[in-house]
Structure 1
Amino acid sequence: MAKTPLRVAVTGAAGNIGYALLFRIASGQMFGADQPLILQLLEIPVEGPQKALKGVAMELEDCAFPLLSDMVLTGEADVAFKDVNWALLVGSKPRGPGMERADLLKDNGKIFIAQGQSIDKVAADDCRVAVVGNPCNTNVMIAANQAKRLPKDRFTAMVRLDENRARAQLAKKAGVAIDAVTDTFIYGNHSPTMFADFTHAKIGGKAAAEVIGDEAWLKNDFLPAVGKRGAAIIEARGLSSAASAANALVDHVRDLVTPGKIHSVGVESHGRYGFADGVWAGMPVKSTAAGYEVIDSYEMDDFAKSKIALTNDELVGERDTVKDLLG
């Protein structure tokens, strides 16, 4: 018997990440090769983005994806989020030249207040939300804070791109296949302050630090390489990392709907790992049939604790900047 189509909302659907993402969702890479979908695509309600959105939809039609049952194209949040099972919040306001980070946080805060309220009002009862639009940790905190009907643990922020980058850097350094690198988790903010925990990472089942045998490289080269990878890609390519971000979102959602998967997700901290209560921070989770469970059993050494303290300070600072938006 055929499955009921999932309704999946994507914001910023005609943007660079959206364009890299939609075809992979429609092909079955996110929710499975037997799961039909209805894509509900939101773009800014002005002529240029709406016209671009129509062009993207035309390409999706031309791919003749068997799983793509229907599409909704709109500039209205309440239409995009109506009855959706998943809301993928990709769109956000980018930082412009000379723009202060505080202004960026507040401008995006207003967007995510409106989207959070709309999702809580019109989405399906089982709706889950993944935030990609930066600064994603604080944006997800703001969106989740609007929810009165949906539980806050339905809201997650994507730190999977950082996890993928960290695994790739360790694999390259060790000269091994990517699948040999495991237990590599991201703590804190999706920003250069985040901590890619190499202290518990494994390569071929052995401690990564032991396999690599170069503590100075891990602390002084690996961590900044992961934290500043996005800036390095902009410098090299002249554009931000859209395809790898889209790929990470496919990984993020696919693993959240696959019970038993262990991966890095931005969630409400509840004080775990020394994070301030109320901030949203990356940490390891195990997906379950009902959602996920945070793995809070990793013991951190003094170096790891110092790195977590730095990224926590940034998250607290962001929360304080937008406190008037939290109600």
Structure 2
Amino acid sequence: MSKEEPVIRVLITGAASPRAYALAGLVANGMALGSKQPMIFHLFDVPNETGKMEGLMMELIDSAFPLLREVITTCDPVVAFQDISVAFLLDAKTRPFDMTQRDLIVFNAKTFKDHGLCLENFARKDCKVIVLAYPGNTMCYICAEHAPSIPRENFTANTRLNHNRTIGHLAYKYKMPPVNFRNVIVWGNQSQSMYTDCSIASVVIGNKSNRIFEYMPDEIAYLKTQLAEQIANRGTDIIAARKLPSGLSAAKAACDQLRDWIVGTPHGTIVSMTVSSDGSYGTPKELFFSLPVEITRGKWSIVRGIKLDELARNKIDANTKELLQEKMQAITELGDT
């Protein structure tokens, strides 16, 4: 028998939510960390959600996941964040139709400041953090700002959901397997202003990779405008239909992102990831921005040199402006300087 990998601790906050319910099973089954990584779950939520957390714990135990060694349910942040290697941060208010973006930031900012402080004080310094809350970019910024001893590149938000949505829409519309579509890019904020860009995307037909604009010249108008609008509005459409935010698709996207982050992306494959900007494409360094990345040996790097047309440039600039406004709203609410 081969030697087992060391057990790691995985935190899921907002553990009583439907999204956490979907995520926990996928992670426990090895989708995020691989088929050889044993784990201990830390499930964290507020005291009045204890029953739901315990119910999830029972279902996890009853599923007999081979990799799951223990499940800890807690309302104590010290216990929740202690020695964790991976943090999925889900516990934020979802925006109702009558709530403004500003009010949502004000409501959630204190939660993510607390999360950052807990990561700083209790988590492992190599902890990988994925924010699934909304608005993800700004909550990720708040969290990273309050955990300065953890590398900033270890904080991400889950734009992979919108990346996957784009590929899913293309596959469904053109009746092809999703694996045939590569290198779409989602730029900017996790909001309706984000921009889905297919300018360097490719489609594989008969083992040959083709630039999608060249292979489908009659579809360029759809790919540049209608598709982007559909992806930007998809989350709102799901809430309208289910009366709940995306659950399974968000959980699967978080697993895809973490798995790529750990094992790397195939050569020549670009994925969208909300990361701390290094100034590429005119985005301010302090912002968390969805950008095209490649990943090698657990390290992501921003793909540079992509030519932007006027539409993409304008969308990136609009997202930058929006994120700077969100940042100032969060700083004002928290009293930070």
- Shorter-chain TM-score bucket reads over 0.9
User: Does the alignment pair 1:7 with 2:9?
Assistant: yes
Q: 2:35 aligns with which of 33, 36, 41?
A: 33
Q: 2:327 aligns with which of 277, 301, 319?
A: 319
- Where 1:38 maps in the other structure, the secondary structure is strand
Structure 2 equivalent of residue 235 of structure 1? 240
Count of equivalent residues: 325
Q: 2:222 aligns with which of 213, 217, 224?
A: 217
Structure 2 equivalent of residue 291 of structure 1? 299
Cα distance in 1, alignment partners of residues 313 and 104 from structure 2: 29
Cα distance in 2, alignment partners of residues 8 and 238 from structure 1: 28
Structure 1 equivalent of residue 60 of structure 2? 60
Give matches, 1:66-145, under 5 Å: 66-96=66-96, 98-145=98-145
Superposed CA offset, 1:18-62 (max 9, x none): 00110111111111111100001101122xx11110011011111
Instruction: Compute the displacement of 1:97 (Å).
Output: 5.4
Cα distance in 2, alignment partners of residues 3 and 167 from structure 1: 33
User: Does the alignment pair 1:187 with 2:191?
Assistant: no
Return 194-203 or 283-292, whichever deviates more: 283-292
Amino acid paired to 1:291: K
Amino acid paired to 1:231: T
Asked if structure 1 preserves the Cα contact closer than 8 Å seen for 2:15 and 2:21, the reply is yes
Q: Which runs of 4+ in 1 moved over 4 A?
A: none
Asked if structure 2 preserves the Cα contact closer than 8 Å seen for 1:173 and 1:212, the reply is no
Amino acid paired to 2:167: R
Cα distance in 2, alignment partners of residues 242 and 286 from structure 1: 26
Cα distance in 2, alignment partners of residues 322 and 94 from structure 1: 17
Q: Runs of 5+ in structure 2 lacking a partner?
A: none
Instruction: Compute the displacement of 1:75 (Å).
Output: 0.8
Indicate how the Cα distance of structure 1 residues 157 and 41 shifts in structure 2: closer, same or farther if over 3 A, else same. Answer: same
Superposed CA offset, 1:51-92 (max 9, x none): 110011011111111211111111122211100001110121
Instruction: Compute the displacement of 1:98 (Å).
Output: 3.0
Instruction: Compute the displacement of 1:99 (Å).
Output: 2.6
Cα distance in 1, alignment partners of residues 221 and 5 from structure 2: 52
- Where 1:276 maps in the other structure, the secondary structure is coil
Instruction: Compute the displacement of 1:239 (Å).
Output: 2.6
Return 278-287 or 206-215, whichever deviates more: 206-215
Amino acid paired to 2:301: E
The TM-score normalised by the length of structure 1 is 0.95
Q: 2:275 aligns with which of 263, 267, 272?
A: 267
Amino acid paired to 1:160: R
* Residue identity (%): 33
User: Does the alignment pair 1:207 with 2:211?
Assistant: yes
Q: 2:312 aligns with which of 284, 304, 313?
A: 304
Q: Runs of 5+ in structure 1 lacking a partner?
A: none
Superposed CA offset, 1:166-215 (max 9, x none): 11222233332211100111110111111111111111221112223222
Structure 2 equivalent of residue 20 of structure 1? 22
Structure 2 equivalent of residue 167 of structure 1? 167
Cα distance in 1, alignment partners of residues 155 and 290 from structure 2: 13
